[in-house]
Structure 1
Amino acid sequence: MRPSFRFPDDLVALQEAWLRTYDELAQVPADGGTTVLRRRLIALSCRLCAHPHWSAPEGRRAGAVELRRAARSRSRAGREAA
């Protein structure tokens, strides 16, 4: 299924990195030293929110849910191709 909105490649890549980091963080035990992953997640969140795509008039219509779907779809396609 194709995403209904078109996102810039760098924005989708940022979302993919955010999803990977979130998954890594979920796998680490609470006492396993999560500081680096949490900081990376915060930095990626800031970059996602500040991306120029969101300032364009059409950017707001294509929301975060659609972006996550596009990133997951691209990640799956990359894993299947490998």
Structure 2
Amino acid sequence: MEAQTAWYATYQELADTSPAHGTAAHRRRLQELSRRIAGHPYWQTAAGTPAARMALKELARAKAQS
């Protein structure tokens, strides 16, 4: 959940950053977090269903917004 929460926080930072101030670091961070999330061994198990993925995203989004 930590990586997914960090993904949402980084995405919001990217959205709030003016292109004139540089967005490359935020984009690199999103790519790195996306790799960590997608490559996690949990998603290779039977429990790693699309419904579980959506539940993780919803929890992480709520945590990132609080």
Shorter-chain TM-score range = 0.7 to 0.9
Conserved? CA contact 2:14–2:27, under 8 Å: yes
Give aligned-pair identity as a percent.
38
The worse-fitting range, judged by mean Cα deviation, of 53-62 and 30-39 is 53-62
Higher relative contact order (CA 8 A, sep 6+): 2
The worse-fitting range, judged by mean Cα deviation, of 33-42 and 56-65 is 56-65
Query: Displacement of 1:61 after TM fit?
Result: 4.2
Conserved? CA contact 2:6–2:64, under 8 Å: no
Matches within 5 A, 1:3-82: 12-75=1-64, 79=66
Please list every run of 5 or more consecutive structure 2 residues that lacks an aligned counterpart in the other structure.
Answer: none
Hey, which bits of structure 1, 4+ residues long, moved more than 6 A? none
Query: CA offsets per residue over residues 3-42 of structure 1, 9 Å max, x none?
Result: xxxxxxxxx1110000000000000012211111110000
TM-score by length of 1: 0.70
CA RMSD of aligned residues (A): 1.7
Paired residues in the alignment total: 66
User: 1: distance between equivalents of 2:19 and 2:52?
Assistant: 31
Find the structure with the greater CA-based Rg. 1
